[in-house]
Structure 1
Amino acid sequence: MARRKNPAVDLPEHPRLTLPPRTILRDSVYEALKSMLMDLDVAPGSRLSIDGIARRLDVSPTPVREALTKLESDGLVATRPNAGYVVAPVLDETELSHLFDVRVLLEPEAARLAAGAASKAAVAALRSACAAMTAQPAGDDYHAYRDFAVLDARLHRVIAEASGNPLIADTLARLHPHTHGYRLYFRVGIAAETTREHAAIVEAIASHDGPAAASAMRTHLDRSRARLHSAYDTGAEQSEED
């Protein structure tokens, strides 16, 4: 029996998909599509029509293709045989646990190593990111949390790179942990707690206290895991109410 193909979908009406007139830069298209995908406005697994997106944004197909290539590297879209680009699935609870199992193996060690190897510039960058994350973002969608999400991911990346172990940094980058996380929990108010946890990690690194940095990172990851699992519980409760 022939497998039924999912039809490609055009984009739903979405306020953040309106670009400035004549703007055809890849980055603008990328940000517009990323907001839609992070907000789950198109169901995971849906096919994405390049021509449909181009018509909706009033741009040529070229920047759409470039943006989709970048979004694929972010883990937000995937390519499938005979289907083209599709929206990547959201991690289920088992996959989420596996992701955090790997992070707990790598990131505390990265923080410990960074405490011994981080340059003054790296510590300054970490403190700057923490300071910029202190304001609680408003709203309940990814667009409102975008700057916070970028700073969050940057802080973890700088720690991994400061460890001096490029394999740790590369492995963590390939996991796309923040992309997966924010698709689940940016709606449940994580900014204040996350910022406090980051500050503890950064100050331990700045003090060159490896064990404290590893412990603070492990605490942060354990609490992040719990917050993400609560997002599944919240989603289940909402489904029951519907």
Structure 2
Amino acid sequence: MTSELEKRLKGQVRAAKRSVLTADVYESVKSLIMDGELAPGTRVNIYAVARLLDVSQTPVREVLSALESEGLVTKEPLRGYSVAAVLTSGQVADLYQLRLLLEPWAAARAAERVDAEVAERVRAELTSVPNAPQGTRYHDYHGIQAHDARFHDLIAELSGSPAVRESLARTHSHLHLFRLDYKGRRHGDPTLAEHARVVDAVLAGSPDEAEAAMRAHLAAARDRYLETL
């Protein structure tokens, strides 16, 4: 029996490539969630998704398990998987409160530990996304979302604190914030500009300036997201 999802999207969603099956299914299902094709609270029909992507149910089940660990889907006994709710304004504020406690400190420590190798890695990440995307679909913005996650993870790593890095990684904050709202012209340009200011301070070996730049970036990003709510 053909589901409503299949009727609506058949022909618009590319079939998963067999050569990289699980990774391709992962990106396809994530796209459905990030773009809102699978709305918050919607039950995920494994059979329908498998037919839509022209794959067996096995990789779909594996992908849903991975997405559960990232908080994009939830699993309930006897009901299976459903798409998780987006963050509320209170959850956004709480998430940024945690980040404001950890990441400015991490940026300051990174500035204290800067050397030629660190400088090369930070510059390479900054230049990995030279321009902000203008589209609003996951296909358009997933590159900057991945950069945002890598950038903040790199600063946490360079702080020398595995505990801070692990704490930030557990939140999957970049994924959930970009899912909440992304408009390329609104978020992308200021995000890249703020990252550049953090990098300048870190590479200058100035802990105070690096801490201030990261704090300013997080506060501005928080306000941009809260405005959408």
Question: Partner of 2:188 in structure 1?
Answer: 191
Question: Partner of 1:156 in structure 2?
Answer: 152
Does 2:63 match 1:63?
no
Describe the SS at the equivalent of 1:17.
coil
The one-letter code sitting in structure 1 at the alignment partner of 2:89 is E
Seen in structure 2, the aligned counterparts of structure 1 residues 31 and 16 have a Cα distance that, compared at 3 Å, is: farther
CA contact (8 A) 2:141 2:184 kept: no
TM-aligned CA deviation for residue 68 of structure 1? 1.3
Question: Partner of 2:197 in structure 1?
Answer: 200
Question: Partner of 2:23 in structure 1?
Answer: 27
The one-letter code sitting in structure 1 at the alignment partner of 2:124 is S
TM-aligned CA deviation for residue 136 of structure 1? 2.5
Question: Partner of 1:51 in structure 2?
Answer: 47
The number of residues matched between the two structures is: 225
TM-aligned CA deviation for residue 42 of structure 1? 1.6
Question: Partner of 1:97 in structure 2?
Answer: 93
The one-letter code sitting in structure 2 at the alignment partner of 1:160 is A
CA contact (8 A) 1:129 1:152 kept: no
Measure the CA separation in 2 of the matches of 1:99 and 1:54. 34
The one-letter code sitting in structure 1 at the alignment partner of 2:148 is D
Q: Which runs of 5+ in 2 are unaligned?
A: none
Question: Partner of 2:141 in structure 1?
Answer: 145
Measure the CA separation in 2 of the matches of 1:91 and 1:157. 21
Measure the CA separation in 2 of the matches of 1:215 and 1:9. 50
CA contact (8 A) 1:113 1:210 kept: yes
Alignment of 1:1-242 (within 5 A): 10=5, 12-13=8-9, 17-19=13-15, 22=18, 25-187=21-183, 189=185, 190-232=187-229
Q: Identical aligned pairs, as a percentage?
A: 39
The one-letter code sitting in structure 1 at the alignment partner of 2:225 is L
TM-aligned CA deviation for residue 229 of structure 1? 1.1
Q: Which runs of 5+ in 1 are unaligned?
A: 1-7, 233-242
